[in-house]
């Protein structure tokens, strides 16, 4: 049994039934050195009472008002004691009862491993392209080093995350994992995709997130480009995300809020470009791009 202790951190809002399925998959894990912390982000469906009743060993933190994914994960991390944080979306579940054990063994064997990214499947076993963390959307059949990861199906070494400032409090939804990936890469931590840990993602739509999806991604990706990427990568990245988000928003009839989000991010551009200490160098950006990191796309 690996000595690594895992802290499962689950942020949830108004998805009680899928959360129960997620927690049952965690409870079934054979790896004994683990804990689970659920942050209820001001749900109105009785999530916190249900979890306390059905899973008495799970720690539940209820936020009094909706604060977003970054704040929820940060609140969970403050309560966690594990060597690695396993982040699962509340509509995900582990396929195998040894998934936690496999994760623990990776972190025990690889001291420079910052993030382990899992294989994500739809409930019917198919693979969605957006859930393959590479530009090449063919699913790797073996362990592959990557430049970004899937926030809702991954594990992060606790001391690595703490060393680069923790979860991003300012991101309510969308691209929080990319913010972490930039910081970890610059600090020298590795990110690895493994097909050995399988996670089923139900991808249940959230009305609130669906309405603001394009706006959130446009704002966050433009700001991340300004903050972390050197020219010309920053400008290309921002332009591509703005254009793609506006096109999607026009199709989904969410154009006004997306236009506002793009404008908000561009107004912050010069202030963010002034924070040069955390920006990747050109050499670092090229290296990250070779690992399919979120550089120009």
Same domain, yes or no, for 285 and 189? no
Q: Among candidates 155, 154, 163, which has minimal Cα distance to 183?
A: 163
Give yes or no for a contact between 38 and 86, defined as CB atoms under 8 angstroms apart.
no
Give yes or no for a contact between 114 and 209, defined as CB atoms under 8 angstroms apart.
no
Residue 150 has pLDDT above 80, yes or no: yes
Q: What mean pLDDT, rounded, does the chain reach?
A: 96
Same domain, yes or no, for 115 and 261? no
Q: Among candidates 100, 106, 90, which has minimal Cα distance to 202?
A: 90
Give yes or no for a contact between 113 and 185, defined as CB atoms under 8 angstroms apart.
no
Indicate the angle between helix axes 255-267 and 207-228, nearest 10 degrees.
Answer: 20
Q: Among candidates 92, 84, 99, which has minimal Cα distance to 156?
A: 84
Find the CATH number of the domain harbouring 106.
3.90.550.10
Instruction: Kindly report, residue by residue over 83-119, the tens digit of the pLDDT.
Output: 999 999 999 999 999 999 999 999 999 999 999 999 9
Where is the domain boundary, 201, 217, 250? 201
Give yes or no for a contact between 91 and 23, defined as CB atoms under 8 angstroms apart.
no
Strand partners, 208: none
Confidence band for 205, pLDDT divided at 50, 70 and 90: confident
**Can you give the three-state secondary structure of 30-41, one letter per residue?**
CCCCEEEEEEEE
Where is the domain boundary, 201, 236, 266? 201
Same domain, yes or no, for 176 and 217? no
Instruction: Kindly report, residue by residue over 15-71, the tens digit of the pLDDT.
Output: 999 999 999 999 999 999 999 999 999 999 999 999 999 999 999 999 999 999 999
Structural domains in the chain (count) = 2
Tell me how far apart the alpha carbons of residues 231 and 234 are, in angstroms, rounded to a whole number. 5
Range of the domain at 53: 6-201
Q: Cβ contacts of residue 217 below 8 Å, gap of 6+?
A: 174, 175, 241, 245
Q: In sequence order, which ranges of the chain are alpha helices (DSSP H)?
A: 16-27, 47-54, 69-79, 99-109, 158-163, 176-186, 207-228, 233-252, 255-267, 269-273, 282-290
Residue 130 has pLDDT above 70, yes or no: yes
Same domain, yes or no, for 183 and 269? no
pLDDT for 219: 96
Where is the domain boundary, 176, 201, 226? 201
Residue 173 inside a domain? The answer is: yes
Comparison of pLDDT for 207 and 295, the residue scoring more: 295
What is the residue whose two structure tokens read 């001391």? 159
């Amino acid at each position: 049994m690996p000595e690594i202790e895992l802290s499962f951190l689950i942020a949830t809002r108004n998805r009680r039934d899928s959360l129960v399925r997620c927690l049952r998959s965690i409870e079934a894990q054979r790896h004994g050195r683990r804990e689970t912390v659920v942050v209820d982000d001001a749900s109105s469906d009785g999530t916190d009472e249900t979890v306390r009743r059905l899973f008495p060993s799970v720690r539940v933190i209820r936020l009094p008002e909706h604060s977003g994914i970054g704040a929820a994960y940060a609140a969970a991390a403050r309560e966690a004691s594990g060597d690695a944080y396993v982040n699962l979306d509340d509509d995900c579940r582990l396929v195998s009862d040894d998934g936690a054990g496999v994760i623990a063994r990776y972190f025990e064997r690889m001291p420079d491993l910052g993030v382990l990214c899992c294989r994500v499947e739809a409930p019917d076993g198919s693979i969605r392209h957006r859930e393959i963390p590479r530009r090449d959307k063919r699913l790797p059949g073996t362990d592959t080093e990557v430049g970004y990861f899937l926030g809702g199906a991954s594990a992060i070494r606790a001391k690595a995350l703490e060393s680069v400032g923790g979860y991003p409090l300012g991101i309510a939804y969308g691209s929080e994992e990319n913010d972490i990936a930039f910081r970890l890469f610059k600090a020298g931590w590795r990110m690895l995709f493994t097909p050995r840990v399988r996670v089923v993602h139900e991808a249940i739509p959230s009305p609130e997130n669906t309405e603001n999806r394009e706006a959130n991604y446009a704002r966050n990706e433009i700001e991340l480009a300004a903050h972390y990427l050197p020219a010309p990568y920053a400008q290309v990245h921002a332009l591509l995300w703005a254009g793609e988000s506006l096109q999607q928003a026009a199709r989904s009839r969410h154009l006004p809020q997306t236009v506002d989000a793009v404008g908000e991010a561009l107004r912050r551009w010069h202030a963010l470009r002034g924070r040069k200490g955390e920006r990747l160098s050109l050499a670092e950006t090229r290296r990250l791009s070779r690992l399919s990191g979120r550089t120009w796309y």
